Amino acid sequence: MTIKKVAVIGSGVMGSGIAAQIANTGVPVVLLDIKIKDKNLAKDAISKMLKTDPAPFMHKSNAKLITPGNLDDDLELLADCDWIIEVVLEDIKIKHATYEKINKHRKKGSIVSSNTSTIPLKNLVEGPSKTKEGKDFEQDFLVTHFFNPPRYMRLLELVTGDKTRKDAIDTVREFCDVGLGKGVVDCHDTPGFIANRLGVFWLTEGVNQAIEQNVSIEIADAVMSRPVGIPKTGIFALIDLVGIDLMPHLSDSLLSTLPENDWYRKIFKDHKFIHQMIEDGYTGRKGKGGFYRLDPNAPKGTRVKQALSLSADKFDETLYAKADKPSLPSIDAGRAGLRAVVESDDEGGRYAWAVLSKTLCYAASLISAIADDITAVDEAMKLGYNWKKGPFEMIDALGAEWFAEKLIEENIDVPELLTKVGKGNFYKIEDGKTYFFGTDGKYHEIKRPEGVMLLRDLKLSSEPVMKNGSASIWDIGDGVLCFEHTSKMNTFDEQIFAMIDKVIKHIGDGSGDHNALVFYNEGSAFSAGANLGLALFMINIGMWPQVEEFIAGGQKAFKALKHAPFPVISAPSGLALGGGCEILLHSDHVQAHAETYTGLVEVGVGLIPAWGGCKEMILRFQARQKAKHNQFWFAPANDPMSATRQAFETIGLAQVAKSAAEAKSIGYFRESDGITMNRDRLLFDAKQKALALAKDYKAPEPVEDIRLAGPSGKYALDMAVGDMRKSGKATPHDVVVSSHLTSVLSGGEIDWTETLSEDDLLTLERREFVKLLREEDTMDRIEHMLDTGRPLRN
């Protein structure tokens, strides 16, 4: 069965977000909600999403794939839907009434699922399956629990019943994995499933211990975040983010369904001040504030962050004070590992141990009830709560035997699984394979789904073909090599260029052991561009010849890749900015993860692209122009000003694509470039494209007849920038940067009747870039970027 059309019932934040993510795959969606006089809830939800930031849509045009309607007039739209997702209120009566309507209109064999996070599947199917229309309901039904926001959170918890059809399970699993890019985790049909069962326990105990130990929320969040491998929001900032008003609902739901002897019942405390905060509108970021807020009395134009002083008895505004930035040995101990944090003898270390010890113990005690094995639990917490390590990986980091001994010292019952593993670890590596410890007391190999290829797996059984301080080259099989950046933020430096030269010579004409190259890494950033710190160092000590060599080295390397006698594929994910974008422009093919954020952003630090970015954007826009002419004879085939203007608007405004789909629209990617929704499948997809291109590959010839607008085109663009300066939309240095950029994009002093080669444009880029480097304001902007990680705003 193939899913070709989907319906989502319920257009709230979650329902509309799920509909948007399905539309992002190119699949049409029906979005239905209740009928309210003079309102169209589903249509309003779509309009709201088009204005939301971060955007639910990967491209605004995807909104056209969603058909809005209501549950009174438009139920017939369900008739041709293959999968119907219910996302209505967490009220079983409302859900049963919704299923009754769905069953009367859905086609035979269609799949129905609920996005519930609290109601067991067995309760959901109990009523509908007994009706005439619902005789097949139980076989067609499952739970698909998305996490919010659906576009950005990778976890999807899948819960099936004893009677759920295998083909329905397989169809939804594949669509969510390959199509939606989700990490699908199988869960047992228990309250809260996996992630929220453990996550709510962790958050609840985090609040409890902060009050009990009189630890400030700033210290609690500082230690219960990056030092222990958890996002910087920690406990309290995360509750602010999801909404303080949501916490009582989650707690009530769990308490209504958990077993009587569950540990959560023992730690739960119904704090009065939480209810007072909600009543007064302090629900977190969406309200007046929460555990943190911005000082409403701060001087105009300033932002002063305040933190709440916790009190179990009351809440009022006088408990807010300026937030501290704590400094403790336990916070710094994160560099030495998790055990160093919890063993720190300060209030942060004691807090971290109290919260984590109970959370990890709870996870170990639940394993047989909530999941088939520990890998599901670890994946759920990593994908759903963005923890770097799952609970069992954390126990391994602490040492399972040490952890068990500490629990005994504190008179806490040691879970059976922890006793079974004894002196061993929950994970081990043997013969290049990873194994996990099962509930049966045996180790089992972790096997990836077909089409999943991870570099970290390949590294377990192989050594790099070659490496230096900034890059490693890996053999990923079938004659394909993988170029992995290992520099900080995967930036480009001289060692990267040296490795590019070395690997090109190694592959040669492709007739030897290797015949294709893939640029890929598993960092959070594909590449943040040039190593600006290195460039600034060289400038500060007057090494101008070396600076020019650095620029020329990047141009030479990227040019060599573009015209290499073998295919070069780039597989970006995350940030690909500046030089990280330029290498994509020089690749034969880009196979991008859907969540790729790319752009030529050099003007933000007072520079221009100098490794061929200007040249390649000119060529891209000229190619678009020719393609349009071939489609519409009346469109000009080569208007010199058109490509110059488009490139100027893209580079001069530092346009950043916030998805791979946007990158195609802007022009950073070609229409023929590929998009992979699931990051774990990115390397495999890139390798398959490399193998396909390697057959009868022919390198592109250098372009020698580039016609640009010349001095008149530069004058027109400079005039436009001058007008922006007069209206206050551009700074004096913006005008300087733009002037150098227009010199390149217009072709310098070359008249529009003459032509340039690719090498001519590279020379222009290099010349204007070096001129800009000598500007004092440029140095200030570079230093500001290195200090703050953000471009300077004048």
- pLDDT tens for each residue of 468-511: 999 999 999 999 999 999 999 999 999 999 999 999 999 999 88
Report CA 472 to chain centroid distance, whole Å. Answer: 24
Query: What is the pTM (predicted TM-score) of this model?
Result: 0.94
Q: Residue 793: which pLDDT band, with cuts at 50, 70 and 90?
A: low
Query: Does pLDDT of 697 surpass 70?
Result: yes
Give DSSP secondary structure letters for 396-441: HHH-HHHHHHHHHHTTPPPPHHHHHHTTS-SEEEETTEEEEE-TTS
Highest mean pLDDT among 308-322, 576-590, 636-650: 576-590
Distance CA 768, CA 529 (A): 18
> Quick one: average pLDDT of 382-406?
97
731 in the Ramachandran plot: left (φ > 0), alpha (ψ -120 to 50) or beta? Answer: beta
**Tokens, residue 262:** 């569950």
Mean pLDDT (the chain, rounded): 94
Contact by Cβ (8 Å): 16, 45: yes
Instruction: Identify the pLDDT of residue 311.
Output: 75
Residue in 649, 615, 605 with CA at minimum distance from that of residue 758 = 615
Residue in 63, 64, 65, 32 with CA at minimum distance from that of residue 50 = 63
Contact by Cβ (8 Å): 738, 728: no
Query: Does pLDDT of 784 surpass 80?
Result: no
281 in the Ramachandran plot: left (φ > 0), alpha (ψ -120 to 50) or beta? Answer: left
Q: Model confidence over 619-631: pLDDT tens digits?
A: 999 998 887 767 6
Distance CA 618, CA 607 (A): 18
Distance CA 161, CA 503 (A): 52
Q: Model confidence over 270-281: pLDDT tens digits?
A: 999 999 999 999
User: Between 709 and 787, where is the model more confident?
Assistant: 709
Give DSSP secondary structure letters for 217-274: HHHHHHHSSGGGTS-TTTTHHHHHHH-TTHHHHHHHHHHHHS-TT-HHHHH----HHH
Q: Residue 635: which pLDDT band, with cuts at 50, 70 and 90?
A: low
Per cent of the chain over pLDDT 90 is 85
Q: Residue 677: which pLDDT band, with cuts at 50, 70 and 90?
A: very high
Q: Model confidence over 42-82: pLDDT tens digits?
A: 999 999 999 999 999 999 999 999 999 999 999 999 999 99
748 in the Ramachandran plot: left (φ > 0), alpha (ψ -120 to 50) or beta? Answer: left
Q: How far is CA 473 from CA 227, 476, 519, in A?
A: 31, 9, 9
* CB atoms inside a 10 Å sphere around CB 773: 21
Q: Residue 786: which pLDDT band, with cuts at 50, 70 and 90?
A: confident
